[in-house]
Structure 1
């Protein structure tokens, strides 16, 4: 694994752009590349377990710390969707073999595909936050996390028994790094949004898989049924016995989907 900063922006946009800290696993000249966008209050290290596995199998895996998260700068403090996406365009490959978006990163991945900022060959959306009807709901979620999430590895493992100690250590670090006011600016102030009507369009543009837990705070049963109707049965994977971080709770199964998307065999292409 290598840690490196993103490209330094120049010119009149300098005060607007964030230089993103990147984490990179695998060889830079690997034949396949994954870019993964983490969720709110997390950092690039959240992707460590699938990244390590894919790197060992010959992939390059790149994960940025979102603006104001991890070791990335908060730049001018603008956490709008437009600015968050612009940061990615300046700092990471925008045409990877597979783009992964987890949680809030799943919303950004969808927006990036719809806007053309991202042009991946395949898209994996992991329990994405595709819809908020108001600002109060995401704010309440973050307020609870700030007040209640354990601030120790053992407590995080008790809450998330499927995680590795490495997962818990990265989560603990991300909670030390984040300013929850910045997280609220991204998660709450961009609301409301609704990407559900665009699912069929996204699936028609490129091979796309939604991988979901059986009980999701963000994709309720009626939305799962709608996804299956509009994007197709093969585009929706509901995994038993996992939580919101499927890449942590079922790493091997998650990586299997990534590899099949990269090989263009998931849909029998």
Structure 2
């Protein structure tokens, strides 16, 4: 029986490291200090807390490191820049600073785009990658997310309709966790919401997918309207040998909605001999 960790306990584990580029990243470390490292990368406007429900199911035998990406959580929030290559470079420096290489890299949504970029650019740092609810397509200047980001102004209300929907699950999620998640998403300055989305309007990750040599697992919920079935099929076709699993009735935040099951799928994939 895996013991869950409370949100207060998880927050108390937060540490920080100054990277070689001068940026300070906050992170949480759990599990076996001598285990194979797993780097857990959260999604857009989340934080390391995004993994608090799933991490206990991965901790045995692995060294888990969950950073707050630049602009998120307790990490530095510079004026710029928020491109995928720049944010991936932060993660590379964190891997080097904490002596994690080679590491498994598990990324959700934006974190999955960073996992792709790391595996493409620095394959020697990576064992396997898991791409959860992510894609490799250009963002668009239309749709629900684009329209709501345009309206954001500081201070952002964590209980406004947009933030409540942004942090919701297709199936019920622990409400205490969601309350923390909403507050942390709302605490991300609107300029960073805008910057990260704008940068991805011009960033096309698809041409580099063929450079990923690490074994890859693609996971999504069938009700996910952000990382669609079409997006997942395109990634699987482009990444040599990639495997794909879809969870019926689940949405974009599958590791919140069904943390034990998702962690189990991730663990099975990572523990399988390469």
The two structures have a TM-score, normalised by structure 1, of 0.80
Report 1:1-269 matches (<5 A).
2-9=13-20, 13-14=21-22, 18-29=23-34, 31-55=35-59, 57-92=60-95, 95-116=101-122, 119-135=125-141, 139-140=146-147, 142-143=149-150, 150=159, 159-160=168-169, 161-202=171-212, 205-231=213-239, 235-265=243-273, 269=274
Counterpart-to-counterpart distance in 1, 2:122 and 2:242: 24
Distance 1:27 1:35, change over 3 A: same
Q: Superposition RMSD on alpha carbons, in Å?
A: 3.0
User: How far apart are residue 73 of structure 1 and its match?
Assistant: 0.7
Counterpart-to-counterpart distance in 2, 1:127 and 1:5: 27
Distance 1:26 1:218, change over 3 A: same
Structure 2 spans left out of the alignment, 5+ residues: 1-9
Structure 1 spans left out of the alignment, 5+ residues: none
> Does the 8 Å CA contact 2:158/2:183 hold for their aligned counterparts?
no
| Residue in 1 that maps onto 2:6 | none
The two structures have a TM-score, normalised by structure 2, of 0.79
Distance 1:149 1:116, change over 3 A: same
Counterpart-to-counterpart distance in 2, 1:87 and 1:232: 26
Distance 1:148 1:242, change over 3 A: farther
Counterpart-to-counterpart distance in 1, 2:141 and 2:70: 20
> Does the 8 Å CA contact 2:42/2:50 hold for their aligned counterparts?
yes
- Could you report, residue by residue, the CA deviation over 1:238-266 in whole angstroms, capped at 9, with x for unpaired residues? 1112110111112122111221222125x
Counterpart-to-counterpart distance in 2, 1:157 and 1:77: 24
